[in-house]
Amino acid sequence: MKKHPLNRRIRLAGLAMAAGTALAAGSAQAQDKGSVHLAYVEWSSEVASTNVVRAVLEQAGYEVEMTSLSAAAMWQSVATGDADAIVAAWLPTTHADYMERVGDEVDDLGVNLDGTKLGLVVPAYSDIDSIAELNDHADAFNNEIIGIDPGAGLMGLTEEVVDTYDLDLALRSGSGATMTAALESAIQNEEDVVVTGWTPHWKFARWDLKYLEDPENVYGGAEQIHTIARQGLEEEMPEAYAILDAFEWTPEQMGEVMLMNQEEDADPYENAKQWVEENQDLVQEWLPEA
């Protein structure tokens, strides 16, 4: 059933307030093609990709609204039709629980980025190379693992890691920003620190880091990021659906945008527009032929 756009916007706003933050914007240049609602989780990778998709959709003449949500709320918003799409579905492992719950209620448009990785990350100068070695050096790591937001799938996997390896380190939740701040502080002081990590992420371009080996393979192998759309979008907005379906880029291309977003006073939306303008050869591959 097609949902009334106003009701959908109200519900999205309520979800965003519960999650703690929301961003809504339109384009003055947009033609009268309607509005596309994109939900995303506040990870640097998804901030980059969602803003790029926004800029491309606006180039095609759509207005675009973006709403930042927790991972669980993001998936639920697409399943209920409150959001039109996400380009932030980490599969098959990180978001496996969400896909299991609502997979029958959404359209999986497939991979938009290949070559991701999850795990525990330490500075390259660290003396240890495996998760199995953490207990022997727990004091050096202040008996803690610095995590991100508690609702993230990565945190659930890391809880399994703590149990599987019987670690004496406590998993500390926070956010992506607090994780990178702790990492930066430790590196500046040449101290040991272990954080939850994923690729692609700008921290690997800024610092010399390494993943700890995971002999029990709790984190699994390489993952992919998928685009997920609400059911009915293809019929109601076929061109927007086609753009979302065609969107695909590399970790290196995403990394360019993420690094731009780390500059002082950076505006992720303005950076996305600049990147889209400078990469029109690729963007044209995502746009339907006239």
Homologous superfamily of domain range 35-115+222-284:
Periplasmic binding protein-like II (3.40.190.10)
184 backbone dihedrals φ, ψ, rounded to 5°: -60, -45
Cα torsion through 194, 199, 205, 207, rounded to 10: 10
Report the C-alpha gap between 6 and 279 in whole angstroms: 34
- What dotted CATH number matches 117-211? 3.40.190.100
Amino acid at 140: A
**Verdict on whether the full-model pTM lies above 0.95:** no
CATH topology agreement for domains 35-115+222-284 and 117-211:
yes
Beta strand 63-68 with 35-40 is: parallel
What are the residue boundaries of the structural domains of the chain, listed by start?
35-115+222-284, 117-211
Q: How many residues does the chain have?
A: 290
pLDDT tens, N- to C-terminus, the chain (290 residues)? 334 444 455 455 555 554 444 444 444 444 579 999 999 998 889 999 999 999 999 999 999 999 999 999 999 999 999 999 999 999 998 899 999 999 999 999 999 999 888 999 999 999 999 999 999 999 999 999 999 999 888 899 999 999 999 999 999 999 988 999 999 999 999 999 999 998 888 898 889 999 999 999 999 888 899 999 999 999 999 999 999 999 999 988 998 999 899 999 999 999 999 999 999 999 999 999 85
